[in-house]
Structure 1
Amino acid sequence: MKRIMVLLCCLLLINVYFPSSTYSEQNRQMTAIGDSIPYGYNLTKENKYPSGGAFPFMMGEEKNLEVTNLGIPGLTSEELLQAARGNDLFRETIKNSDYIVLYIGGNDLLKILKDHKNLQGIDMEEVALVVRNLLFNVYSTVMEIDKLTDAEILVYNIYNPYPEKGASLEQPLHYINIQYNSLVELLSHFTNVELVDAYQAFKGHPEYIIKGDVHPTAEGQFTLAEIGLNKMEE
């Protein structure tokens, strides 16, 4: 929790003193929360602060919104929930938002792949346990956000970070996203939340992911912004 507090303090200072926030005349606000995907990791070599090429900033520019990017590389869904429940800086930023962009879960799942060192022998029961915890954390995070604000919450599901692996990763990812999508559908009945389908948008597009990496290219970030904007306009 201390690590999250320090990182959030740094990110909030960055968004005040560096041009990684975009400002609007109407002062409507968007806050991006989650991991390295909304942060725009590896779009620049330094990775010292959220990239201006990250998809939340593209969305903010298109919609004339002030954007605060609280993405933290390496963040898990459990850590995001901790911030939503107990980090005053995080919560205060959320309160003042008109839109929330949420992308989380990749680090929860990447741990399984790292533990196995490859895709061989992944036990679906092991995947199911991770997914159960992920879904609980996302549900609880959205509920915490809903207590703080009437903002529209855009929840992205999880794209395939290893498209070159083919069908070997598709089964667990398909299972994960069925559960993820069902959760957001349930939440939409009593919170202001919408699902943004990154999984389908990236399917069949290996060029959306940096070669030898798991993070989106500039084109991939553009696609994430585009599907988010489309959802906002529905």
Structure 2
Amino acid sequence: MRIITTLLCVSLFFIGSLLAPQPIHARESEQLVAIGDSIPYGYNLTKDNTLPSGGAFPYIIGNEADLEVTNLGVPGLTSAELLAAVRSNDKFRSTLKDADYVVVNIGGNDLLNLLKENKGLKGINMEEVALVVRDLIFNVYSTIIELERLTQGEILVYNIYNPYPEAGDKLDTPLSYINTQYSSLIELLSHFTNVKLVNAYQSFRGHPEYIIKGDVHPTRQGQNVLARLGLKHIKD
């Protein structure tokens, strides 16, 4: 009889635990993953540059939108190197898989490397620019397609601002060409992927104060501008 009573008590306890209200666990923070070059890294916002800067725009977005941020920006990264990382780097792939938002900022080094090869703006010509743009657009396209396979998250792609505002109109033609191609690509991909274009180029025009003097990287003010642009798309 004692055994039967014990079993009855256990059964009633088990049934009661199923019927009792369960504690509601707060949902984990949504994830933002930043990939690209030294701009999302926040290069030269700190002296040593050993770690991504907390003043970089992905962290500002994270603070404003209550997102957990993982910054995979790599100073000096090109579009071809980013594509390779998204395709085969285990850390990139495992992190991106759980992202709710992916911020992509790439292409500046493709252009800067061309300028270095031609020893500045004077030696540059549109034929060489066209070859760089062809490869850049292909790499960005392939990166977005790979991201679409990896994650259900929203993809925000920043275009390229003028890194040399003191050059005046000399870079306007190649940059306008590059960003027109960027815009067309994102417009096409938006029909079958979850991607949006963030227009850094337009927002930085006429604002040399957004770029560190004697450098090509955004100031803290510039990083805040990049963050506000991204937040508009996240809040839409």
**Which residue does 2:56 correspond to in 1?**
54
Deviation of the 1:214 alpha carbon: 0.1
CA distance in 1, matches of 2:122, 2:201: 22
Give the percent of matched residue pairs that are identical in Structure 1 and Structure 2. 67
Deviation of the 1:67 alpha carbon: 0.2
Deviation of the 1:25 alpha carbon: 6.4
Q: Which runs of at least 4 in structure 1 moved beyond 6 Å after TM superposition?
A: none
**Residue type at the aligned position of 2:197:** L
Q: How does 1:39-188 map to 2 (within 5 A)?
A: 39-188=41-190
CA distance in 1, matches of 2:62, 2:214: 29
Partner SS, residue 51 of structure 1: coil
Deviation of the 1:121 alpha carbon: 3.0
CA distance in 1, matches of 2:27, 2:56: 22
CA distance in 2, matches of 1:149, 1:231: 18
Partner SS, residue 217 of structure 2: coil
**Residue type at the aligned position of 1:27:** S
Q: How does 1:4-23 map to 2 (within 5 A)?
A: none
CA distance in 2, matches of 1:215, 1:75: 14
Write out per-residue CA displacement over residues 130-179 of structure 1, whole angstroms, 9 at most, x where no aligned residue. 00000000000000010011100000000000011001111110111000
**Residue type at the aligned position of 2:218:** P
What TM-score results when the alignment is normalised by the length of structure 2? 0.88
Partner SS, residue 72 of structure 2: strand
CA distance in 2, matches of 1:206, 1:231: 24
Q: How does 1:182-221 map to 2 (within 5 A)?
A: 182-221=184-223
Residues 233, 27 of structure 1: alpha-carbon distance in 2 compared, 3 angstrom cutoff: closer
Deviation of the 1:53 alpha carbon: 0.1
CA distance in 2, matches of 1:217, 1:56: 14
Deviation of the 1:98 alpha carbon: 0.3
**Which residue does 2:35 correspond to in 1?**
33
Deviation of the 1:199 alpha carbon: 0.1
Partner SS, residue 166 of structure 1: helix
**Which residue does 1:227 correspond to in 2?**
229
**Residue type at the aligned position of 1:115:** E
CA distance in 2, matches of 1:38, 1:126: 27
Deviation of the 1:94 alpha carbon: 0.3
Q: Which has the larger radius of gyration?
A: 2
What TM-score results when the alignment is normalised by the length of structure 1? 0.88
**Residue type at the aligned position of 1:165:** A
Partner SS, residue 122 of structure 2: coil
CA distance in 2, matches of 1:76, 1:167: 24
